[in-house]
């Protein structure tokens, strides 16, 4: 007897390998997948503008990366003591204006280099709700705790999302784009509003896929809602998937997009990571010397087995 309604995910017609570079953009779920890819030695760039939730801002961030569009002082606002960018997450904010610009442009440079050589782009939508800054007449990626009187909140329409993707698709024709919807519920919007928001995202993605044969959908949202339909798979806030849930979604991702050789490499890398994380009890001892020799041998054996695989240990 099955005690879960398992989501059927067809095996992907293509395989993602360690030779491929990937650019990931979107919500905090993007960070989770990026963490696993990074631990398994994939060449990736994650969230060039920091964590972003709405499709319009995600596409804007991608456009900046494609065009290698750097920022300057005129692109920033000063709110209280901080210099901020309305296109970026608060992790870029600082009291030092030049530090903000430097960090933003360094991330664009790195992400643009990955993008140029990449085969895959993973985009995770979080919400259809957007905040429109009245004075600057633009949809923002982050409100930075600016008073809400300066914004108008509204839902994007399906047509707006589909059309905004069309504006950049011509520059993505040599890539494969994997869309997902974050399983994190935006409870502050309200239960019914959150469901409406997620429905708009899902329908928008499916319309995009129908119109563009290089676009695909990975059902992370459906996996959590159906296969992991239990609060034991959530963190204490009862909104975010916990470590067990995220690992399970990663497992389903592996089953869908990796071939047997890639899975085998991943398993060996997992064992290597565990070895590298091990700490000996006493420094400057024979135990430490023997452990370091063992560690270097295991790394050398791995590199000899996969000489064409770029790894950093």
Tell me: the pLDDT tens digits for 152-170? Answer: 999 999 999 999 999 999 9
Does 103 reside within a domain? yes
pLDDT at 279 (0 to 100): 83
Q: What is the mean pLDDT of residues 116-122?
A: 97
Pick the closest to residue 252 from 288, 225, 275, 218 (CA basis): 218
The total domain count for the chain is 1
Q: What percent of the chain has pLDDT over 70?
A: 100
Determine the Cα–Cα distance for residues 256 and 253; give it in Å rounded to an integer. 5
| Whole-model pTM over 0.85 | yes
pLDDT tens digits for 37-46? 999 999 999 9
* 283 domain residue, yes or no: no
Q: Does a structural domain hold residue 6?
A: no
For residue 268, being part of any structural domain is answered with no
Span 211-230, pLDDT tens digits: 999 999 999 999 999 999 99
Query: Does residue 53 belong to any structural domain of this protein?
Result: yes
Q: Residue 103: pLDDT above 90?
A: yes
Place 281 in a pLDDT band, splitting at 50, 70 and 90: confident
Q: What's the mean per-residue pLDDT of the chain?
A: 95
Assigned domain for 272 exists: no
Instruction: Decide if pLDDT at 1 tops 70.
Output: no
Kindly write down the DSSP assignment for every residue of the chain, as one continuous string.
Answer: --SS-PPP-PPPSS---TT-EEEEEESHHHHHHHHHHHHTT-EEEE-TTSS--SHHHHHHHHHHHHHT----GGG-EEETTEEE-TTS-GGG-BS-HHHHHHHHHHHHHHHHHHHHH-SEEEEEE--SEEEEETTTTEEES--TT--GGGEEEEEPPHHHHHHHHHHHHTT-TTSEEEEEE-----GGG-HHHHHHHHHHHHHHHHHHHHH-TTEEE--HHHIIIIIT-SGGGB-TTSSSB-HHHHHHHHHHHHHHH--HHHHHHHHHHHHHHHHHH---SSSSSHHHHHHHHHHHHHHHHHHHHSTT-----
Q: What is the pLDDT of residue 105?
A: 98
CATH of the domain at 87: 3.40.50.1110
Q: Which domain holds residue 180?
A: 21-259
Give me the mean pLDDT over the 7-24 stretch: 96
Q: Which pLDDT does position 84 carry in this prediction? A: 98
Does residue 299 fall inside a structural domain?
A: no
270 part of a folded domain: no
Cα–Cα distance for residue pair 225/206, rounded to 1 Å: 18
């Amino acid at each position: 007897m099955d005690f879960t309604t398992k989501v059927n995910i067809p095996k992907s017609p293509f395989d993602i390998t360690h030779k491929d570079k990937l650019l990931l953009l979107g919500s905090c779920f993007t960070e989770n997948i990026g963490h696993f890819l990074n631990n398994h030695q994939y060449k990736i760039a994650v969230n060039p503008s920091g964590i972003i939730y709405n499709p319009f801002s995600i596409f804007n961030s991608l456009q900046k990366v494609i065009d290698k569009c750097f920022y300057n002082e005129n692109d920033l606002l000063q709110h209280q003591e901080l210099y901020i960018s309305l296109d970026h997450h608060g992790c870029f904010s600082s009291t030092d204006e030049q530090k903000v610009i430097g960090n933003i442009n360094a991330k664009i440079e790195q992400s643009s280099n990955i993008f140029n050589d990449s085969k895959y782009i993973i985009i995770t939508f979080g919400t259809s709700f957007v905040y429109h800054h009245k004075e600057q007449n633009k949809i923002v990626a982050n409100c930075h705790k600016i008073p809400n009187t300066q914004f108008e909140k509204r839902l994007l329409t399906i047509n707006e999302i589909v059309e905004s993707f069309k504006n950049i698709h011509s520059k993505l024709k040599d890539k494969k784009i994997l869309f997902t919807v974050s399983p994190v519920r935006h409870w502050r919007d309200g239960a019914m509003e959150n469901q409406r928001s997620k429905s708009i995202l899902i329908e928008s993605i499916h319309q995009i896929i129908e119109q563009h044969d290089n676009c695909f959908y990975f059902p992370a949202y459906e996996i959590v809602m159906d296969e992991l339909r239990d609060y034991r798979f959530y963190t204490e806030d009862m909104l975010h998937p916990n470590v067990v849930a995220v690992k399970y979604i990663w497992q389903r991702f592996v089953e869908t997009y990796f071939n047997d050789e890639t899975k085998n490499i991943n398993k060996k890398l997992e064992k290597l990571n565990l070895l590298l994380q091990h700490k000996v009890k006493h420094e400057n001892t024979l135990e430490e010397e023997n452990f370091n020799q063992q560690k270097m041998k295991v790394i050398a054996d791995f590199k000899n087995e996969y000489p064409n695989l770029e790894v950093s240990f």
